[in-house]
Amino acid sequence: MRKSLQEGTSFLFYDNTGNTMSCERKEFMEPRKNIMEYDTVALRDEEDAVAIIDQTKLPKEIQVILLKTAQEIWEAIYKLKVRGAPAIGVAAAFGIYVLAKKISAEEYRDFRKEFQKQKEYLDSARPTAVNLSWALRRMEQVVQENKDKSVAEIKDLLKAEAIRIQEEDIQVCRSIGEFGLTLLKPGDGILTHCNAGKLAASRYGTATAPIYLGQERGYGFRVFADETRPLLQGARLTAFELAASGVDVTLICDNMSAAVMKNGWVNAVFVGCDRVAANGDTANKIGTSVVAAVAKQYGVPFYVAAPTATIDLATPTGEEIVIEQRAAEEVTDMWYQTPMAPEGVKVYNPAFDVTSRELISGIVTEYGIAKPPYETSLRKMFEEKKKRGGTL
């Protein structure tokens, strides 16, 4: 039987200093300047810099930082100051442009050699999200295809391409939102994992795009955000941006998804992705595959929001996706006042897992909703992209 959310539930909300407070159904108090008014990533061309919101500081502090050197850009991606597959791609595109601008070589060959070096360095920051190498490859193509132009002209073309990558991301997310919305009805409960929101992309996010469009159109969705151990992207980022947008969001621990689904509170799961293999297997934040298995158990449809930039037809199955491993301290120490695990304990800390395609009800792209068998439906999305002149 469906239980009422109101019955005996208390909620945690952020106050306007970013601290949490426990209260019974209090209104969310907006921070002085709303997070939704900031660009997740922006080019500051006159300052030779990429500006990002430092996401490691959220929600306590909204701090915009400028990245100017290769090491600063690499580190910002590695340390998740900028994170989420599309946002990483945009940051890398602006980043490589900023670095290319500083290359002093005037000869094409020398410029290209230095460009290549910087590109490979940025590409090594994180292995799983394909958007990083995808965006850098697009930038590299600009250099390769304009051999006949002067270095100064190539730099201008690089800037234009990076801006295009960001603008396309906004359009892509909006289209995913429109297609995603067709899978939902007013009043639905939606569960999401990690942050595939505005903070992970340029505006609407991917998994959150149907939620934001629904919000604009008065759908009255109720969203459950998994906190997402160990780096708490769900608690720190998703709950923060959805609440700041006025969406009805409830934060739950990762081990509560079965409970909320069993209560009948969830009509659909929407998650983002870091790399979708050609057969539909999908890598996303660690814990996603658990949610998918639980959703199957309770008959809840499980959707992946995937820009075609995150679909990697060159990777045949999930088996071939490289999963980033991260530091043990993220599990043992981070967020705790004192370390909460015995010193020296063995830790396994993969940043992502692969959800098997059998558990995925549909993959929502900017060209439509791919359904099983994904080998054929995903290819069709790329055929459509080619037909419409999209950059492959």
**Where along the sequence are the contacts to ligand MRU (CB under 6 A)?**
80, 83-86, 129, 194, 196, 200-201, 205-206, 233, 272-274, 284-285, 351
Identity at 321, one-letter amino acid code: I
Instruction: Check if 333 is active-site.
Output: no
Q: What contacts 331, CB < 8 A, 6 or more positions away?
A: 229, 230, 341, 347, 349
Between the alpha carbon of residue 242 and those of residues 198, 246, 342, 368, the distances in Å are 9, 6, 36, 25
Smallest gap from residue 374 Cβ to ligand MRU (A)? 18
Smallest gap from residue 9 Cβ to ligand MRU (A)? 26
Q: What contacts 219, CB < 8 A, 6 or more positions away?
A: 181, 184, 185, 186, 187, 188
**What are the structure tokens assigned to 189, written together?**
């409960």
Closer to ligand MRU at the Cβ: 143 or 306? 306
Closer to ligand MRU at the Cβ: 103 or 201? 201
CB 302, CB 361: distance < 8 Å? yes
Nearest alpha carbon to residue 94 among 113, 76, 110, 114: 76
CB 276, CB 240: distance < 8 Å? no
Smallest gap from residue 240 Cβ to ligand MRU (A)? 14
Closer to ligand MRU at the Cβ: 142 or 180? 180
Catalytic annotation, pick one of 274, 281, 312, 353: 274
Smallest gap from residue 101 Cβ to ligand MRU (A)? 26
Smallest gap from residue 143 Cβ to ligand MRU (A)? 27
Closer to ligand MRU at the Cβ: 11 or 78? 78
Q: What contacts 292, CB < 8 A, 6 or more positions away?
A: 269, 302, 355, 356, 359, 360
Closer to ligand MRU at the Cβ: 155 or 238? 238
**What are the structure tokens assigned to 382, written together?**
């790329």
Smallest gap from residue 146 Cβ to ligand MRU (A)? 31
- Cα–Cα dist 205/207, whole Å: 6
CB 265, CB 5: distance < 8 Å? yes
Closer to ligand MRU at the Cβ: 236 or 357? 236
CB 67, CB 50: distance < 8 Å? yes
Smallest gap from residue 318 Cβ to ligand MRU (A)? 14
Q: What are phi and psi of 19, to 5 degrees?
A: -75, 160
CB 212, CB 243: distance < 8 Å? no
CB 188, CB 215: distance < 8 Å? no
Closer to ligand MRU at the Cβ: 119 or 236? 236
Query: Which residues have a catalytic role annotated?
Result: 274
